Homo-oligomer: A and B are copies of this chain.
């Protein structure tokens, strides 16, 4: 039970030294909390992660949910965990008190989500999905729907889902075909099919509430004709009970990882008896969904970071204990073998894992910080934080998703042959991590989002704010002699990013949309690398300040290691931006204006 999957010291450093989350309590909105109560929330979550989640990691992977006759049977740990989340108010934690929430800062909620993901990613998603679905109801549904659904969702008795994907509408949500037929009884009749719906039905809850996209008969084609509905698995029978709502789970997917959570296929209204209730206005479904999508995407990034974190600590433990080989220069075969952590290549891989994990976590908390600020600041600042969140969301989602695969893979590599064996968890993390670049919008979609939408929105306002935030950090770092050369490196990288962006915008202004967006994924990678470098410089500043204030050996070591990991990032990861800039601006487009025939052989 003493396996480490997160560093609470690192969380404290980020939350209370870098982002000073406790200072939020000076503001009325967060005045219910102080450092002690926030600590208590974190401690409770950690204990839940350790005791209610971690022990079921391998078991839930080994015995994934079982589908039988329309129902999905999950591990009993699922029910226990969801109910506990309900009981302590975690499902409603970030929501306003007036809506039944706790007004807990997002920074803290997301720190808890990180611990949960690291402990057992499959298990962590159940309450998260309910929160996301509840958030849609809370923001856009009628009082009646809110009053009916939210209490049971907040208590963990009812599961929430996001029911978007269909066989012909995955990345292209504008092609959603599920039909909604108007009735005169205040509800719609829903008919269609959904696939890949996480937790679409299971026996750890009494009901499942789908927040479902469908097209009202006669609605315009495309994105402008999609509406959002609440479609429960069981609907109220008007007598305080529940009755079936003609919603049938046809099966679950057997999959590489993330096996503890069922991904379901749903048949909706096969007997013409499925009722759905409109959320908000007609035809605005996708708008609502995308207003909430940012949070889901941030959650994916945090999930990926959590898995990378658990992988890091497992491989660190192995590297500390395993003896193998001798250092170069030691030619005495009779000398004892050294710990593999002494080998430079192992250290490099561990530093990579750490740099990815802690850099990604920092960025996720940075955005969480903006979300918290939006609850306590004025209108103008709010717009600023909103734009920053918009710009950063595809990065927060994709950087840990993509690099998380590589850093988890580095963890496998550290264990050598054991990394592939089920006796260790690395192979499980490696499988679990693979979903993140896919769900809630693939990395390709995120690339289109950041370059095609976010970088250009409001005349580049979001991009400019991103640049300004980094510039402020660079300016501050220059005040510290040990950081100034790193500040310069980031400054150079940022200049290159600006130049690269400008050169791409020229293509856009020439109407060469396809060329403009053709390597958007690489643009996203470039922006991501710079964003993480920024977060490392930020951590570097805090660490330097920490060193000035502390003379305890533990803290001296901790802050020094932070600076060392920052240096790792700047030496080994940041230089990739030059390559990316080169590719993005060299002009020789190879993926536009070329027929798919080239792949015939």
A residues with CB within 8 A of B:
7, 9-10, 165, 168, 170-172, 174-175, 195-196, 221-224, 253-258, 263, 316, 320, 323-329, 333-334, 337, 339, 341-348, 350-351, 354, 405, 409, 412-413, 416-417, 419-423, 427, 430-431, 434-435, 437-439, 442-444, 447, 452, 513-514, 516-521, 557-558, 560-561, 564-565, 567-568, 571-572, 575-576, 578-579, 582-583, 586, 588, 590-592, 594, 596-601
Known A222-B333, A431-B431, A598-B557: A348·B256 in contact at CB below 8 Å: no
Contact for A557 among B165, B196, B345, B597, CB less than 8 A = B597
| B221 with A416: CB separation less than 8 A | no
Q: Which residues of B contact A423 (CB under 8 A)?
A: 253-254
Q: Which residues of B contact A172 (CB under 8 A)?
A: 324-326, 337
Contact for A416 among B170, B316, B320, CB less than 8 A = B170
Interface residues of A: mostly helix, strand, loop or mixed?
A: helix
In angstroms, Cα B412 to Cα A110, docked, is: 29
| B347 with A591: CB separation less than 8 A | yes
Q: Sort A-B residue pairs by CB-CB distance and give the 3 closest, nearest first.
A: A222-B333, A344-B518, A344-B591
14 further A-B contacts with Cβ under 8 Å, apart from A172-B325, A329-B513, A564-B598, are A165-B417, A168-B337, A253-B423, A254-B421, A254-B422, A256-B420, A257-B420, A320-B596, A343-B444, A344-B518, A344-B519, A409-B434, A427-B434, A571-B583
Looking at A221, A328, A578, A600, the one whose CB has the most chain B CB atoms below 10 A away is A328
Closest Cβ–Cβ distance, residue A323 to chain B (whole Å): 7
Known A329-B513, A344-B517: A601·B560 in contact at CB below 8 Å: no
In angstroms, Cα B9 to Cα A502, docked, is: 43
In angstroms, Cα B339 to Cα A592, docked, is: 14
Q: Which residues of B contact A568 (CB under 8 A)?
A: 590
Closest Cβ–Cβ distance, residue A165 to chain B (whole Å): 7
| B333 with A9: CB separation less than 8 A | no
| B590 with A567: CB separation less than 8 A | yes
In angstroms, Cα B236 to Cα A432, docked, is: 49
| A337 with B175: CB separation less than 8 A | yes
Q: Which residues of B contact A413 (CB under 8 A)?
A: 437-438, 442-444
Contact for A171 among B175, B223, B324, B558, CB less than 8 A = B324
| B171 with A344: CB separation less than 8 A | no
| B578 with A590: CB separation less than 8 A | no
Q: Which residues of B contact A417 (CB under 8 A)?
A: 165, 170, 195-196, 253, 263, 438-439
In angstroms, Cα B513 to Cα A537, docked, is: 31
Q: Which residues of B contact A599 (CB under 8 A)?
A: 316, 320, 341, 350, 354, 561
Contact for A345 among B221, B327, B447, B601, CB less than 8 A = B447
In angstroms, Cα B175 to Cα A263, docked, is: 47
Nearest B-chain residue to A343, judged by Cβ: B444
| B601 with A561: CB separation less than 8 A | yes
Q: Which residues of B contact A255 (CB under 8 A)?
A: 420-422, 427
Contact for A348 among B412, B572, B591, CB less than 8 A = B591
Closest Cβ–Cβ distance, residue A163 to chain B (whole Å): 14
Known A347-B594, A413-B437: A514·B170 in contact at CB below 8 Å: no
Q: Which residues of B contact A339 (CB under 8 A)?
A: 596
Closest Cβ–Cβ distance, residue A228 to chain B (whole Å): 18
Q: Which residues of B contact A578 (CB under 8 A)?
A: 578-579, 582
Closest Cβ–Cβ distance, residue A161 to chain B (whole Å): 15
| B324 with A594: CB separation less than 8 A | no
In angstroms, Cα B175 to Cα A427, docked, is: 27
| B572 with A583: CB separation less than 8 A | yes
